[in-house]
Amino acid sequence: MRILGIESSCDETAAAVVEDGRRILSNVIASQAEEHKQFGGVVPELASRRHCENILPVVSKALADADMTIDEVDGIAVTYAPGLIGALLVGVSFAKGLAMMSGKPLIPVHHTEGHAAANYLVPATEDQPVLEPPYLGLIVSGGHTRIAEVLDYTTFRTVGRTRDDAAGECFDKCARAMGFPYPGGVHVDQAAQRGNAKAFKLPKAKMEGSPYDFSFSGLKTYIVNLLHHAEQVGEQVNTDDLSAALQQAIAADVTKKTIAAAKELGYQTIALSGGVSANSGVRNMLSEACRKNGFRFYMPPVALCGDNAAMIAAQGYFNLAAGITADESLNAVASKELRGETAL
């Protein structure tokens, strides 16, 4: 079965064709990051306008690269939540029109579930089969940080989540304060390679209640204040060292909680995903901790960590198999829980 995926929740217009939820036939991404850079972050109105311009050429290219016409796809999967509402609406409206015109099933996909599905695109190796639920997912992006039990391909149960900022937001805001361009996470990662993480002692959030919840706003505020204070008194801050300390703090936090949750809940398999899963510190620390504990560990190749439509098409395949489809009443939703969950 071949699913066309469409993603437009933030500043990437993306389309892809994936076979049986596992094999990428095409994967096209038009990123607007360069344009938003001058504003230091995504400008929602601008993002929507660019999606409108990009969506037709991007979808056409995804079909052409897969050597297919729309009549040959078995379903059209689209990110309908969560994200920037005007941005989501472009993908949702386009997918609805396409489904109506072609008579193919329309498949709604939650963006966070899509991130998790990026790991279904990781091919089997000699040591490891392809990923199948149940497993414990750590999904870390610019908008979300959560540990979730993936009970089957379409049922999720959140074990821990951020109570304030997402890890990616913390990376980005600290990066901006250090003078790195948007999106800053990758620049922190690069600077961290040259730095000494021990040069700064950063605060650790104490979580009352759920031991697997996260809080990154205190860390962010501490770093931003440290930089502002240094600027006021004319001191130079070594941003390589600060980046290394920040990366180490975030990687240690997500690793410790994910491993503890896996042990408590009895999971042997952990899968990392989301934009921040591209971070070398997070990748190395969690994979090493999994190796030490004898857990199976999955993470997408860096190219599939950030927003893309291959992950949406992959999750779309499993949603369709579970009978999850939508009609022309499908609407974009800015904020939405995972499937099977009620608002916390």
Q: Rule CB under 6 A: which residues touch ligand KG4?
A: 10, 141-143, 168, 171-172, 183-186, 188-189, 274-276, 278-279, 306-307
Q: Using the rule CB under 5 A, give the single segment among 96-104, 156-164, 186-194, 299-307 that binds Zn ion.
A: 299-307
Least distance in Å: CB of 259 to ligand KG4?
A: 20
Return the residue nearest ligand KG4 (CB atom).
Answer: 275
Site for Zn ion in 119-148 (CB under 5 A): 141
Long-range contacts of range 175-179, CB-CB < 8 Å, 24 or more positions apart? Answer: 176/40, 177/223, 177/224, 177/227, 177/228, 178/227, 178/237, 178/239, 178/242, 178/243, 179/239
Which of 17, 307, 317, 319 is the binder for Zn ion (CB under 5 A)?
Answer: 307
Beta carbon nearer to ligand KG4, 86 or 142: 142
Would you state the structure tokens that stand for residue 46, as one six-digit string?
């601008």
Least distance in Å: CB of 247 to ligand KG4?
A: 7
> Strands 135-140 and 269-273: what pairing?
parallel
CB atoms within 10 A of CB 252: 16
Residue 160 contact among Zn ion, ligand KG4, none, beta carbon within 5 to 8 Å by kind: none
Beta carbon nearer to ligand KG4, 134 or 218: 218
Cα radius of gyration rounded to whole Å, the chain: 20
d(C-alpha 332, C-alpha 91), whole Å: 9
Helices in the chain by DSSP H: which ranges? 33-37, 44-65, 85-102, 111-117, 167-177, 185-194, 217-232, 239-265, 280-293, 310-321
Least distance in Å: CB of 281 to ligand KG4?
A: 8
Least distance in Å: CB of 121 to Zn ion?
A: 15
Least distance in Å: CB of 252 to ligand KG4?
A: 14
> Strands 2-7 and 75-81: what pairing?
parallel
Beta carbon nearer to ligand KG4, 171 or 318: 171
Residues near Zn ion (CB under 5 A): 141, 307
